[in-house]
Structure 1
Amino acid sequence: MDALLIIGGLLLMLAGLVWLVMRAFATSLLWGWGSLIPPITLIYMVRHWARARGAVTLIGLGVIPLVVGLTLLASKDAERLAAIIRLDWLKPEVQTPAELAIDLGGELNGQPFRPQQGELIDGVLVLREGLDFFALRELSIRLPQPVDGAVRVDVLPQDSGNLPEVELSWLLPEQDLPEARRLSRGYTLHLDLQPQAPNRLVGDFHLVLPPRFKTSLSGRVELYRDRLRYVDDQVDTRYDSRDTVAHVVQDYLQRRFATRDVRELKLPVFTFKGDTLELQVDAQVAGRSESLPIRLHKRPEHGWAVEGDRFPALPAVVARQPAQQAEVAPVEERLSRPVDRRQRFSLARLQRNPEQYRNLSMRLSRASGGTVEGRFVGIDNDGNIRLSQQMGSGGGQASFSFKSEEISRLELLEP
């Protein structure tokens, strides 16, 4: 509404000025050319008020909605109004250097696709265009199995079996939730990605979907393998992500208990709402179960750190040559197949035993349209299903709550 009032007021004022100049030219050619200079325009208005009165009235009418619109804008977004007054919109936009070298040509859903973010984490390759919570355009490829190391995938349209699932999503200006399309066969995919220190994958990417999807992409991509960021080969603890907090907590526990044997670190679900985190952490430390409260604080210079951490660094590990080769008796290994919880998964089963699926990735389709992916947080007191979702590269998280009747389909994405 404020934008409409401002634009409407400016148009009325512009129409009044044009009318005033036309009246000046009708008076005489000299007054017409002189009215193009603001001081002479004022003199003309005073000397020929009878002729200029209508145009001046129209200009005055335009001032009213302009002032009202600016007042509304100042009450909602004073910083934006200040930027308009400073004429920041006339300055060329400064392009921040991209973190990843992604060079893709082609289109997604018939539109040019220029992703700024990319990752391959837990077997899911994601390319995103746009830095908002919902991407402007996004491509997700869910591999059948999580990968560790180099990635080589080749899929042809005639292939069948357990193939990667491809999902496209895009957000139109008039939509609240992105629109998505998924397919599991009938496409061409080529991935050849090689690890690059410290936590990236770099290589060739080629994807062609059936014509109705209007999607064809080809080029080179660079992807993150986790949600850590590095500066000079050291973890940047200033970056807000769950992996960063886990790294800080693990390093703290290793130094606190003077052992590198810290495993099965479990963090509760949390969001980055400030510069302080209070967590109840569970871990296996040197074979013992430890559960302790930890308070973390973020400083602009040093990033996240545990409050009260005064423990010294662990000594460097020195590799020793064994004096003699000890004979190792062969031990029969018993391989057990992990239970795949995706089988027989349903909304009713989730409601009966929510703890079994906590922190697992799920995809929820709403009855009114749209899909949301996130990790299952739990069921609140009203019986609503709660999901938590990572917010792009910003490191934050958002929570969603859905009633049972709002859910048309619920899929478990992890075993």
Structure 2
Amino acid sequence: MAKTKNYFVCQKCGYESLKWLGKCPSCNNWNSFVEEEKKEEKAKIAVNIKNEPKCINSIKSGEYERYDTNINELNRVLGGGLVKGSITLISGAPGIGKSTLLLQACQGIASKHGKVLYISGEESEEQIKMRSDRLSVNSSNIYILAETNMETIEVQIENIKPAFVIVDSIQTLYKSTISSAPGSVSQVRECANDIMRIAKTNNIPFFIVAHVTKQGELAGPRVLEHIVDTVLSFEGERTEEFRILRTVKNRFGTTSEIGVFEMLEDGLGEIHNPSSVFLEETNFKQEGSVVIGIMEGSRPILVEVQALVSKTNAVMPRRTAVGIDISRLNLILAVLEKKLKVPFYNCDVYVNVVGGLSIEGTYGDLGIALALISSAKGIAIKLDKTIAVGEVGLTGEVRPISFSERLINEAEKMGFENILIPSRNIHKNNKIKGIGISSLKEAINKVF
């Protein structure tokens, strides 16, 4: 008989304790411990003699075989396609389009590579069929299984032998040998380990859907992110039409690529040229508005940044940033006050990136600074169709950026006539007029 033992598990990080604790010593969260029951069995030790250490020089290296999902934006984010035997975790807010994207991927994989098994613990077969009719997903190689028992799922995978499996979602699965409820740390951890074993032994790629918390973070234990090979985050607002698929972790490719989608009546549509979409309604002769260039992986994207500076009588002025890091905004404001003597201490400052894109890095520093000056002084940029690219330093200098040639070519393609760029990044033989600058003061004198 296996011994039964009660213990307490932190639902945030998976820390185990023999007694209840108010504060988790591992992740410092309060009231996160839940009592669970565990059966202790004597482990049977099996030694695999065939598995021996190998010299690294004797191991053959090569490219992983990938599946084409027939969705170019998804392939880009995954690093070129879906690797056989890999486990990909995708998370996002409810209603953002995770299930829609995966069902569309099913159609492409089923038509090229064989059977696809869609395991749903949240919806019935009829509900998934209704969505597939709307998305025109009608391949005979797609199989639907509404099941949450992990043992039953493993049996069905052995019977069907699919080329690709989707689990929607990991929080609904459970193992009968564990007494805790589905979605708990123990259930998620054990079910994820079983999925990893099935994927690696049978060389089947898995796509796992995961829930998010109120703060937008991935729900479940942190070990879930360590087990899987790729972690994708689906970002965007349900009220907006654009969706951003971003890579958080990728063992088979870069983590800097993004995929841009548009929510349509018949599913998610790919946006191959995001710059044209984000600049669709841009007014180039408006105060507080500047177009900047950023790099998302290997893809240059042009996007509009808007700033609003208004006087306030409040003791603590408001600082609001949507799409950029608030600490980066505070840094730029400090440089403008110190080096250019522009007062912001008595003003509310709002900065927004049009289109819902979140900017990472320092490519947009110069554009944000110019937008703030434009709004504070109430004047628009005099140069026609101008784009600004550059990093702002603490001493007020404009520092050079990488991939400048790609950004210049993208600006030319989009019809821009002038580009404000650090002097060291000026390229000759370009149709667009490059305006080299070395400091913020020089940039403001040239555009205003």
TM-score of the pair, normalised by structure 1 = 0.22
TM-score normalised over the length of structure 2: 0.21
**Higher share in strand:** 1
Higher RCO (CA-CA < 8 Å; seq separation 6+): 2
